[in-house]
Structure 1
Amino acid sequence: MSGKAPRAQSRKKGETGRVGTARRELVESELYEHATRLFAERGFAGTSLQDIAESLGISRPALYYYVKSKEELLARLVTEVTNGPLDDLQQLVATEGLDPVAKVRGIVEVVVRHRASQPERFRLLMRSEADLSDELTEAYDHSRRAILKIIATAIDDGVRAGVFRPVDSRIAALGVLGMGNWVSWWFQPGGRDSVDDVVEQLGDMAIGGLQRDEHRALADGTPAAALKMLRQDLDHLERIIGS
């Protein structure tokens, strides 16, 4: 009997710990949602921790168990919005066997799904850039540059492989990222468009704008059209030689 009691107590402690963790995650999720809404409605400066506590239906001292300041809360929201897509994109491009087309389609899907799942948080981030600390601004800028580099590298790979037209990869990457980010401003969950439909159509648009013409037909019979095609081929050759 004496040998069983400690194990039973250990199980109870483990169960209590899991319940406590689950409850904390639930409250924190609600906390983020309420804070996002209040920051959007009243602005960061016009929102206090007391406002957030009242919105959650808890006391301000109870709120301190989850967050110590609204600056810390904003930092968590920014980190979640920026690091989520970056982590998924890094995992995507590390996948073996993906050709440039599959990578760009995957990139579009990652960005669109993140922005469609938490549109309010991304819009809040855009509106709150002036309220970010220097440290948080630097981290946010680093994340944006890393995401842009991942997209530009995938496009460059496609150009070198002859799959994509010779384009300025940075400008093209900004276009792909902007198209995905803009979803957070117009997508309505439960509306007429499903996330899958948006991912498919924007992926088609991204690839359609980058892919080379299969038949290499001239737009017209003019010397200018022929020179344009020749320049594209020379740009492609220079990229191959320089890689």
Structure 2
Amino acid sequence: MDRVLSSLIDMLDASLDEQMIKSALKNFAQFHGYDRFAYLQTEGLEIKTFNSYPEPWQDIYLGNKYSRIDPVVTEAKRRRETFAWSAEDWPSRGSSPLRKFRDEAVDHGIRSGITIPAEGSFGSTMMLTFASAQKRIDASPLLDPRTGLQIVMAVHYRLKVLAASTIIRPKRMLSPREIMCVTWAAKGRGTQETAMLTGINARTVQHYLDSAREKFDAKTLPQLVAMAKDRGLL
């Protein structure tokens, strides 16, 4: 492990808040000639992001649901391996959504970069992107797949640990089986489907869901799922 990578891993491990993680990634990005970074986790059409992109671009990206057409996200889901990219290779100037996305990205200094994808649980995809305002940038120092994966997982787990340490606790914690049933409910599985997937009786699955709703003071199952996600339990 080279000195810069070792320093990044150490800084991530020692980070006490998201700002420290952001600082560590920004320093690493700038050392390799990149301007910004973006960590993105996708699960179906839902996304979670942690990045140093300009706030106006973040608002535009999330507001227009650009993750659905973003060529970088699409490629990351398809290839599941580190790759370099450039907006110069995307359609430019025009009325199509993809061309509009490309033009707005370039206008906000997102022009080229490298993306490191990793497969997560329940069909999710995690990806870490280092981006530059240059038309092309030499991505070879970061193309080593082992190094890239190590960075992505370090960021993922540190963010997860921090989220778990700052969540608002319910009046009683959920049991492992309650969490399992709520997790499958969050994936859109009904009681019968969850019973088949877990080997638990359907009535028992419903009991776990009702118990979890009571602990969270949730009136409905969708409210329970939303509260569990907010608390970092799923």
Structure 1 and Structure 2 fold alike (TM over 0.5): no
User: If you compute each CA radius of gyration, which structure gives the higher value, 1 or 2?
Assistant: 1
Q: Which has the higher strand share?
A: 2
TM-score tier after normalising by the smaller chain length: under 0.3
Higher relative contact order, structure no. (Cα contacts within 8 Å, ≥ 6 residues apart)? 1
Q: Which has the higher helix share?
A: 1
